[in-house]
Structure 1
Amino acid sequence: MDDEPLALINMEKKLQEFDTIEIVKSFSTLNDLLTEGPTLDIQVAFLDVEMPGMNGLEIAQLLKQWHNNIYIVFVTAYRDYAVQAFEIQSLDYLLKPISKSRLETTINRIQELFQYEKKLPPLQHIEPSLKIQCFGGFNVSFNDKIVHWRTVKTKELFAFLFSHLNSHIPRDTIIDALWAETEYKKARVQLHTTISYLRTTLSTLGYVNVLHYANGCYTLQLEEFQCDVLDLEQLLKQKEETEELDIEKAETFIDNHQGDYMATLDYPWINSKANFFNNQFTILLNFLVEHYTATHAFKKRELTLLLSLDYSPYSDKIIQQLIQHYIEVDNRANAITIYNTFRNNLLTELGILPNLDTIELFNTISKNK
């Protein structure tokens, strides 16, 4: 669509040079579009931006209401609309005059997206194709193959949005988190470029229109995926609602646990999330310790307490539980060893001693030589 007839003819000629493109309809007026647009079977729209009545940005929104999965490509002589164009999920932004090589790049992107859509099975299956690992790092795989990101920032942006899944995140909040050291105008452009890369990557995996922009906020909405963080939350939620822990699932989760939340990443925004989810993992370990104590599964209790100590090496509570465990199973030597190691670590690394309760518990062992 273009209100300039010569520009419209020129664009048609350029598109007709590609065998894989079928031009369903061209429009030069808004009235014609409003009359025929809703009933057309179209996959891609090439839109001019500066047009009377409704500009291309507004028409793009209208087309998305009519055709939910349509791809939008803006064709304009003006750079000023690029940021707004990417905010409404455009596939590309072409500046006039358009070279054949530049248009070919756009066509290749469109073809790539369609090829992926044809190859992908429906998302409704028992084992989700998309798997997201947050503990121990941040790894995303699809059909057991690691997802490759266009840029480092694309991966970080997905990690940030995923950590706020289904929440409305103000654009400036994202900029402050990911581009805090960048001048605001440049940061905004970088954000929209990265958003475009992220949308393309997700679309190639079959996740189309899952990243939304409205009222100055971005929202990531995903379905049909597996994630270790959500597995943990579901385990704890079930325990809260039923007062029963799914021991088999909990043990499987512990066996597959890779480490602290996004442990290998140096993102400045991670800390608060990491503290929360690492604490959730500790809560799960505590529930397992309670279960093993009630069922007299002493070896499993010992291993779970030792694992808890790995994740909370300065915890007096865990050391006390371990000492009590070794007293109960009549292994005084291990109780002494674990206490001395704990005490030395505190002195060496923090310059402090165990708390009084821990010291008194150890003294009871010492008195019973």
Structure 2
Amino acid sequence: MQAIIVDDEPLALQRLERLLKEFNGIKIVKTFQDPRKALQYVSNQEIDIVFLDIDMPEVNGMMLADKLMQKKPDISLVFVTAYNEYAVEAFELNALDYVLKPVQKERLAKTLSRILKGEQKPKIKQEVIETKMLCLFQHISYTNPSIGTKKISWRTMKAQELFAYLVQNRGRTIHREALIDLLWPNSDLEKAIPHLHTTIYQIRSTIKKHGLAIRISYMDEGYRIEMEGMKLDIEEWEAGVRTLPRVSLETIEQHQALMKLYRGDYLAEHLYIWAEGERERLLFIWLEHAKQVASFFVQNEQYTEAILIYKQIQAKNPYLEDGYLGLMKVNAILGYQSKVIKEYQALMERFHFDLGIDPRKEVIIWYRNWLKSI
């Protein structure tokens, strides 16, 4: 098997090379002190295994491992590190094994035994299921035609929150210090970094376990998440709302399908403070769309459907007059006078007791005119 060694310490590199040459079945074809040269070499050569140090300047082992996996997903990585066992676990990124410095021949023998017996990590299957969709409405889950909707099981709450945060900032690199400030605000940087690496590893493991076409990369001292063939419900829904022609007899079924796709407010079950802005933005789009659909049903005398939507509007934003006014108008058409009065009273109580203000004049004027007409 073809292997290379990457370590910025010449003595450590020479020692590991000398030890590896004592074993049959593995050939050290090149050694590197510069991780960037190692990456360039691997890009153009068939290499089975990379032995790499973690603590290297400029491009550390974590960064190099990410870049190697991007270029050669089937390559096996063996970390050689001076970190203690807990820290090593934190840095375990798609690794076949890790070996502590100073490297001992007996320990190295165990690693090579696994390699030579064919116990490498399984090759990554190229089976991106394009029909899978990551869902962030209400809670984090994913859908697949064969299994329906399935929640994602997370090892820790920190892993779940970090994943959600990276997805919200998909396509952007978030500096590790910003992530630490978000999740471990009271920890010093030196202690928090291993926690961050452990959490990233847990996320990668969960993504792999569920077979999601999502990749997390490390670059510029930060992390970014890429949706590689995986759809996202909030993107599909928002694109549909913005591009679908106005509500009509020809498009109403498509608009209703979009209404169903909005299964609940964005990450509503998780209540992350940093998600509130996006939650409010998406809810505003939903409210505007819902009002259009409800208005269509009223115009077409489909009052039951209109009432259901106005009640949803009322439930999602009890301080928005539109839900109450819509219900009042529909009940007025149907001749349910007591229900009109009940909705108006509920609206006034909500605004007076909670906000200390009146609803907008349009609602009050409509109600007074209606009272005069009955």
Is the partner of 2:27 in helix, strand or coil?
coil
User: Where does residue 191 of structure 1 map in the other structure?
Assistant: 196
User: Where does residue 175 of structure 2 map in the other structure?
Assistant: 170
* Alignment RMSD: 4.2
The whole-number CA distance in structure 2 between the counterparts of 1:57 and 1:301 is 55
- Aligned-partner residue type, residue 141 of structure 2: N
The whole-number CA distance in structure 2 between the counterparts of 1:136 and 1:223 is 23
Residue 240 of structure 2 contacts residue 258 of structure 2 at CA under 8 Å; is this kept in 1? no
Residue 39 of structure 2 contacts residue 67 of structure 2 at CA under 8 Å; is this kept in 1? no
Once the two structures are superposed, what CA deviation does each residue of 1:55-103 show, in whole Å capped at 9, x if it has no partner?
Answer: 8678757855763553433213357xx79x959x663654224785997
The whole-number CA distance in structure 2 between the counterparts of 1:187 and 1:55 is 17
User: Where does residue 122 of structure 2 map in the other structure?
Assistant: 114
Question: 1:232 aligned to 2:237?
Answer: yes
State how 1:141-160 maps to structure 2 within 5 Å: 144=147, 145-160=150-165
- Aligned-partner residue type, residue 138 of structure 2: G
User: Where does residue 134 of structure 1 map in the other structure?
Assistant: 136
Residue 135 of structure 1 contacts residue 229 of structure 1 at CA under 8 Å; is this kept in 2? yes
Residue 49 of structure 1 contacts residue 75 of structure 1 at CA under 8 Å; is this kept in 2? yes
User: Where does residue 342 of structure 2 map in the other structure?
Assistant: 337
- Aligned-partner residue type, residue 335 of structure 1: V
User: Where does residue 305 of structure 1 map in the other structure?
Assistant: 310
The whole-number CA distance in structure 2 between the counterparts of 1:198 and 1:356 is 51
Kindly state the Cα deviation for residue 311 of structure 1 after the two structures are TM-superposed: 0.7
Once the two structures are superposed, what CA deviation does each residue of 1:300-354 show, in whole Å capped at 9, x if it has no partner?
Answer: 2222111111111121233223222333343323211211222233344445443
User: Where does residue 262 of structure 1 map in the other structure?
Assistant: 267
The whole-number CA distance in structure 2 between the counterparts of 1:317 and 1:36 is 64
Is the partner of 2:198 in helix, strand or coil?
helix
User: Where does residue 252 of structure 1 map in the other structure?
Assistant: 257
Question: 1:25 aligned to 2:27?
Answer: yes
- Aligned-partner residue type, residue 134 of structure 2: I
Kindly state the Cα deviation for residue 282 of structure 1 after the two structures are TM-superposed: 1.2
The whole-number CA distance in structure 2 between the counterparts of 1:254 and 1:122 is 31
Structure 1 stretches lacking a partner, 5+ long: 17-22
The whole-number CA distance in structure 2 between the counterparts of 1:29 and 1:300 is 70
Change in CA separation of 1:252 and 1:10 when aligned onto 2, cut-off 3 Å: same
User: Where does residue 9 of structure 2 map in the other structure?
Assistant: none
Kindly state the Cα deviation for residue 149 of structure 1 after the two structures are TM-superposed: 2.0
More deviation in 230-239 or 252-261? 252-261
The whole-number CA distance in structure 2 between the counterparts of 1:285 and 1:264 is 22
Is the partner of 1:196 in helix, strand or coil?
helix
The whole-number CA distance in structure 2 between the counterparts of 1:303 and 1:208 is 37
User: Where does residue 200 of structure 1 map in the other structure?
Assistant: 205
The whole-number CA distance in structure 2 between the counterparts of 1:350 and 1:103 is 69
Structure 2 stretches lacking a partner, 5+ long: 6-11
The whole-number CA distance in structure 2 between the counterparts of 1:270 and 1:50 is 34
Kindly state the Cα deviation for residue 173 of structure 1 after the two structures are TM-superposed: 2.6
Kindly state the Cα deviation for residue 160 of structure 1 after the two structures are TM-superposed: 0.7
Question: 1:291 aligned to 2:301?
Answer: no
Residue 211 of structure 1 contacts residue 219 of structure 1 at CA under 8 Å; is this kept in 2? yes
State how 1:312-323 maps to structure 2 within 5 Å: 312-323=317-328
Residue 128 of structure 2 contacts residue 229 of structure 2 at CA under 8 Å; is this kept in 1? yes
The whole-number CA distance in structure 1 between the counterparts of 2:42 and 2:190 is 36
Kindly state the Cα deviation for residue 357 of structure 1 after the two structures are TM-superposed: 3.1
Q: TM-score, normalised by structure 1?
A: 0.75
Kindly state the Cα deviation for residue 222 of structure 1 after the two structures are TM-superposed: 0.9
Residue 238 of structure 1 contacts residue 244 of structure 1 at CA under 8 Å; is this kept in 2? no
The whole-number CA distance in structure 2 between the counterparts of 1:253 and 1:112 is 45
Question: 1:366 aligned to 2:371?
Answer: yes
- Aligned-partner residue type, residue 140 of structure 2: F
Q: TM-score, normalised by structure 2?
A: 0.74
The whole-number CA distance in structure 2 between the counterparts of 1:114 and 1:340 is 65
The whole-number CA distance in structure 1 between the counterparts of 2:39 and 2:139 is 49
Kindly state the Cα deviation for residue 157 of structure 1 after the two structures are TM-superposed: 0.9
Residue 69 of structure 1 contacts residue 209 of structure 1 at CA under 8 Å; is this kept in 2? no
Change in CA separation of 1:183 and 1:61 when aligned onto 2, cut-off 3 Å: closer
More deviation in 344-353 or 330-339? 344-353
User: Where does residue 271 of structure 1 map in the other structure?
Assistant: 276
- Aligned-partner residue type, residue 270 of structure 1: A
Residue 214 of structure 2 contacts residue 228 of structure 2 at CA under 8 Å; is this kept in 1? no
The whole-number CA distance in structure 2 between the counterparts of 1:299 and 1:66 is 56
User: Where does residue 72 of structure 1 map in the other structure?
Assistant: 77
Residue 313 of structure 2 contacts residue 322 of structure 2 at CA under 8 Å; is this kept in 1? no
The whole-number CA distance in structure 1 between the counterparts of 2:222 and 2:177 is 9
Is the partner of 2:122 in helix, strand or coil?
helix
User: Where does residue 19 of structure 1 map in the other structure?
Assistant: none
- Aligned-partner residue type, residue 164 of structure 2: A
